[in-house]
């Protein structure tokens, strides 16, 4: 008998109606002969309401207590979901993260799963129950305290459980039909992707695609668990994320998987850095010591006349203040001329393993932006991704132009063929 | 160092302001040199809201899932309370019932505590923390499932923890100043009781006094844990419930502790029962098999001419339908004439260990009711209690008349002295 892990997000279980709809879908999977384990998030706005309550009693809630508080959210949704399933005549049991054997480290609010010991879940499904597991939460290995996994944690719970239970598939139900070639709110002609490799999905996730988080895809790749991202509202097939297209389905790998964009970053430029060894290291040590995560890093060649260079990097806007403070403290040591902080930027990324072997992708990408009158401020590439930074106001136009240029529009013929050598 | 267990009910922590007020009070106890363990209920209406949600997804929620759902309530209040305490500069840690070692049987929704193993709580307070424990919940011994203790369960959690930790006192904080000689909403001149014995408190609790539930007092008596019932809003001394008045306080035991009333019961009279062995047994076996709890039972002497008698008993109104159904099924076997169901009754009870040695109490009680023009329908007594059933509409008048007759009014001189022999 095959075992399916299904995950339902907060928008799918936002109210009693949503819970009943999801219960029906779960029962269908059971009736189709699968063993079913369900991971569920907190209902709709529950988590935000709890965060608001915490803010009312303390400006700096402790991590341990914050986790204890937030985990009440899934407790509510999972119990209600189990009740709704039983009301349809099927047996269901809900389990907290701790009961489900989700063991984490002790870093409250963003704990990492270090082991999953799903003995109780296994027993429950073997006895014929549908097991409902609280997403987003676990229990710390050393102190046995309740922990939460941070943003997108329920997806990670689902994939980790699927791996531990050796599930056939991890289905991530959400409020969209799958992963698209671009954000459908920006590109009306964006197409749903039928299949995408773990690698391309990882790049999309780290380039601003919100459907799956990087951490969850990374986990699935490590344990080779196929993910099926699909809508909890429609019955449609969604997007499969796996190592290889499934044998029984004819899906060709596109050269380009999609275009992602991200407007949550800011850019800092350190102007007039002496071009000598150790300068960049001093700058990024200061940033690292301030616990700031950075994304793209670009250094231009230095001007021959001055021996000075500029170093630019992007980072989440929310960490801008912290980074600027850290850099200002290190100014005397580094001896740079000035800092520029700019949060009116957008990052546009083109992702596709096909670009490794299809020359001309970079040229087509830049031409599309140029034709749209968009200026490129920074460029950064990986083996299967090209990212540029543009003005924030150009983001929608840029994404549409690139999407069209690579033949991704839904009314377009198949993907463009490139000439030339290298990209 | 003395150890104090404090319990705060839902009305004390109804909102962020309430939680902050309670946090201050807890910190005061800590600053006074006590080790402090706090048991907290769910915030205000949280439990009702969760019950409402359950009703929206299932008309018959399963016990296991219902408990999982409801326990989210204390999880929220205890985490917020711990945050609020930490915000005042003191260390606090919250614990679920399971983490606190509250072990119960497996009867969901009204589990009984069968053991308390408070190792983590002990460690936490020994390390200098204030330990916050979720009331009302535990974990079942056999299946390790989450359970709830039913109505008033948080008080029981507090007393059970106090017993397991060998606490000096269990303080029950509530929205009234203590236990009164009668319900202050009915009797304006009701007096706060400074001290009351476990026995009298048990009789008051089972006679309709809502301040403490029977089960909690029973537990405290068994383990000899003094309870201090007091207001979380005022700083006043409340009511001490214990075996003996405390040595350092001069409190005399009154002859009469108080007058309780209860309008939640109905009366069933089985009319025309053949007065022969086995008839009453058949009736009450039928009631017991229907899982109905009964309270007072009265049988009159049979009329010599007919050989028939009437049997009356009281029971919660909510179980009336069930009881009547069960009795109708047994009619042919018992051969009674008819059933009368009456839910317009009130029970008035006079409680006090002093009535054992003070003759005339019963006479004074009945005279007071008679003078107030109140008709007595049933009478039932224990060693330290007399209860009567009257019309529901007479309840307030009855309670006031009895309260005055026994010198309990706050503007009265001390308690009346009785003459005569026996009661």
Rounded Cα gap, residues B211 and B216, in angstroms: 11
Note the pLDDT tens digit of each residue in A175-226: 899 999 999 999 999 999 999 999 999 999 999 998 999 999 999 999 999 9
Q: Tell the residue number behind the tokens 């300068």, with chain if given.
A: A279
Inter-chain residue contact A72 with B60, CB threshold 8 Å:
no
In 3D, which of A214, A121, A111, A222 has the Cα closest to residue A163?
A222
Residue A260 has pLDDT above 90, yes or no: yes
Q: What pLDDT score does A177 carry?
A: 93
Q: Are strands B385-391 and B345-351 parallel, antiparallel or unpaired?
A: antiparallel
For B56, the closest of A16, A73, A78 (CB atoms) is A16
- What is B211-239 written as a DSSP string? SS-HHHHHHHHHHT--EEEEESSS----E
Whether B364 and B418 have beta carbons less than 8 Å apart is answered as yes
Q: What pLDDT score does A234 carry?
A: 87
Rounded Cα gap, residues A27 and A88, in angstroms: 8
Residue A52 has pLDDT above 80, yes or no: yes
In 3D, which of A257, A253, A176 has the Cα closest to residue A211?
A176
Q: What pLDDT score does B418 carry?
A: 41
Q: What pLDDT score does A381 carry?
A: 86
Any idea what the Cα angle at residue A378 is, between residues A374 and A381, rounded to 5°?
110
Rounded Cα gap, residues B169 and B240, in angstroms: 10
Whether B145 and B128 have beta carbons less than 8 Å apart is answered as no
Q: What pLDDT score does A420 carry?
A: 35
For A57, the closest of B54, B84, B99 (CB atoms) is B84
Any idea what the Cα angle at residue A345 is, between residues A339 and A346, rounded to 5°?
145
Which pLDDT band, with edges at 50, 70 and 90, does A419 fall under?
A: very low
Q: Tell the residue number behind the tokens 């006043």, with chain if given.
A: B236
Give the residue with greater pLDDT, B415 vs A118. Answer: A118
Q: Considering only CB atoms, which chain A residues are within 8 Å of B85?
A: none
| pLDDT means over runs of 10, chain B (423 residues) | 94 95 96 97 93 93 94 96 96 97 94 96 97 97 94 93 96 94 95 94 92 92 95 90 73 79 95 85 89 85 78 93 93 90 96 84 91 91 90 96 94 50 38
Q: What pLDDT score does B247 carry?
A: 58
A5-19, A313-327, A346-360: which range is least confident on average?
A: A346-360
Q: What pLDDT score does A387 carry?
A: 93
Residue A418 has pLDDT above 70, yes or no: no
Interface test with A, best of B59, B72, B78 (most A CBs within 10 A): B72
Inter-chain residue contact A65 with B83, CB threshold 8 Å:
yes
Inter-chain residue contact A57 with B86, CB threshold 8 Å:
no
Rounded Cα gap, residues B129 and B117, in angstroms: 18
CA distances from B389 to B24, B166, B293, B381 (A): 45, 41, 17, 12
Q: What pLDDT score does A251 carry?
A: 54
Q: How far is the alpha carbon of A335 from chain B, nearest alpha carbon, in Å?
A: 41
Q: Are strands B297-299 and B345-351 parallel, antiparallel or unpaired?
A: unpaired
Residues 6+ apart with CB under 8 A from B278: none
Which pLDDT band, with edges at 50, 70 and 90, does A380 fall under?
A: confident
Domains and CATH numbers, chain A: 3-175 (3.40.1160.10)
Residues of A within an 8 Å Cβ radius of B: 16, 19-20, 23, 50, 53-54, 56-62, 64-66, 68-69, 71-73, 75-76, 78-84, 86-87, 92-94, 96, 99, 120, 144, 146
Inter-chain residue contact B57 with A93, CB threshold 8 Å:
no
Inter-chain residue contact A54 with B87, CB threshold 8 Å:
no
For B58, the closest of A50, A86, A144 (CB atoms) is A86
Whether A163 and A154 have beta carbons less than 8 Å apart is answered as no
For A76, the closest of B16, B50, B146 (CB atoms) is B50
Residue A132 has pLDDT above 70, yes or no: yes
Rounded Cα gap, residues A181 and A238, in angstroms: 13
Q: Which residue of A has its CA nearest to B83?
A: A61
> Mean pLDDT, chain A, as a whole number?
91
Q: What pLDDT score does B42 carry?
A: 96
Q: Considering only CB atoms, which chain B residues are within 8 Å of A99?
A: 144
Inter-chain residue contact B83 with A61, CB threshold 8 Å:
yes
Could you tell me where the DSSP H helices lie in B179-213?
198-206
Residue A422 has pLDDT above 50, yes or no: no
- What is A322-356 written as a DSSP string? HHHHHHHHTHHHH--SEEEEE--EEEEEEE-GGGG
Residue B351 in 3-state DSSP?
A: strand
B145-175 burial: b if 16+ Cβ within 10 Å, else e: bbbbbbebbbbbbbbbbbbbbebebbbbbbe
Q: What pLDDT score does B93 carry?
A: 97
Structure tokens, B146: 């989450």
CA A382 from centre of chain: 18
Q: What pLDDT score does B419 carry?
A: 35
ipTM of the complex: 0.79
Rounded Cα gap, residues A54 and A73, in angstroms: 14
**For residue B252, what is the DSSP state?**
P
Inter-chain residue contact A62 with B83, CB threshold 8 Å:
yes
Note the pLDDT tens digit of each residue in A278-313: 888 889 888 988 888 888 888 877 676 788 888 899
Q: What pLDDT score does B227 carry?
A: 97
Note the pLDDT tens digit of each residue in A69-110: 999 999 999 999 999 999 999 999 999 999 999 999 999 999
pTM: 0.83
Any idea what the Cα angle at residue B134 is, between residues B130 and B136, rounded to 5°?
145
Rounded Cα gap, residues A349 and A188, in angstroms: 18
- What is A29-74 written as a DSSP string? HHHTT-EEEEEE---TTHHHHHHHHHHHH-SS--HHHHHHHHTHHH
Q: Which helix (H) or strand (E) holds B382?
A: strand B378-382
């Amino acid at each position: 008998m095959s075992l399916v892990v299904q995950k339902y997000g907060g928008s799918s279980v936002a109210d009693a109606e949503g819970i009943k709809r999801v219960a029906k879908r779960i029962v269908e999977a059971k009736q189709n002969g699968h063993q079913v384990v369900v991971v569920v998030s907190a209902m709709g706005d529950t988590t935000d309401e709890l965060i608001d309550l915490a803010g009312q009693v303390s400006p700096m809630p402790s991590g341990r207590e914050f986790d204890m508080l937030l985990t009440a959210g899934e407790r509510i949704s999972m119990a209600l979901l189990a009740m709704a399933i039983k009301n349809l005549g099927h047996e269901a049991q809900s389990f907290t993260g701790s009961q489900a054997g989700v063991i984490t480290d002790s870093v409250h609010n963003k704990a990492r799963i270090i082991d999953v010991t799903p003995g109780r879940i296994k027993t429950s499904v073997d006895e014929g129950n549908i097991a409902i597991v609280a997403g987003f939460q676990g229990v710390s290995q050393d102190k046995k305290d309740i922990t939460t996994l941070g943003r997108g944690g329920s997806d990670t719970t689902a994939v980790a459980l699927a791996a531990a239970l050796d599930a056939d598939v991890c289905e991530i139900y959400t409020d969209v039909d799958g992963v698209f070639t671009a954000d459908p709110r920006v590109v009306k002609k964006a197409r749903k992707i039928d299949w995408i490799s773990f690698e391309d999905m990882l790049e999309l996730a780290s380039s601003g695609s919100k459907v799956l988080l990087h951490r969850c895809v990374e986990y699935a790749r490590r344990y080779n668990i196929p993910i099926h991202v699909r809508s909890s509202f429609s019955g449609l097939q969604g997007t499969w994320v796996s190592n290889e297209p499934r044998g029984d389905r004819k899906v060709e790998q596109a050269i380009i998987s999609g275009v992602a964009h991200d407007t949550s970053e800011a850019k800092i430029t350190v102007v007039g850095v002496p071009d000598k060894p150790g300068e960049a290291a001093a700058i990024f040590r200061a940033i690292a010591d301030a616990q700031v995560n950075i994304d793209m890093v670009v250094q231009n060649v230095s001007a021959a006349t001055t021996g000075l260079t500029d170093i630019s990097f992007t980072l989440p806007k929310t960490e801008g203040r912290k980074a600027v403070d850290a850099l200002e403290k290190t100014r005397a040591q580094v001896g740079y001329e000035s800092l520029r902080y700019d949060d009116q930027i957008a990052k546009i990324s083109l992702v596709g393993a096909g670009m490794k072997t299809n020359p001309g992708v970079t040229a087509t990408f830049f031409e599309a932006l140029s034709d749209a009158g968009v200026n490129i401020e920074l460029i950064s590439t990986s083996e299967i991704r090209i990212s540029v930074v543009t003005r924030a106001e150009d983001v929608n136009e840029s994404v549409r132009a690139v999407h069209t240029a690579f033949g991704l529009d839904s009314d377009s013929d198949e993907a463009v063929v490139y000439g030339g050598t290298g990209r």
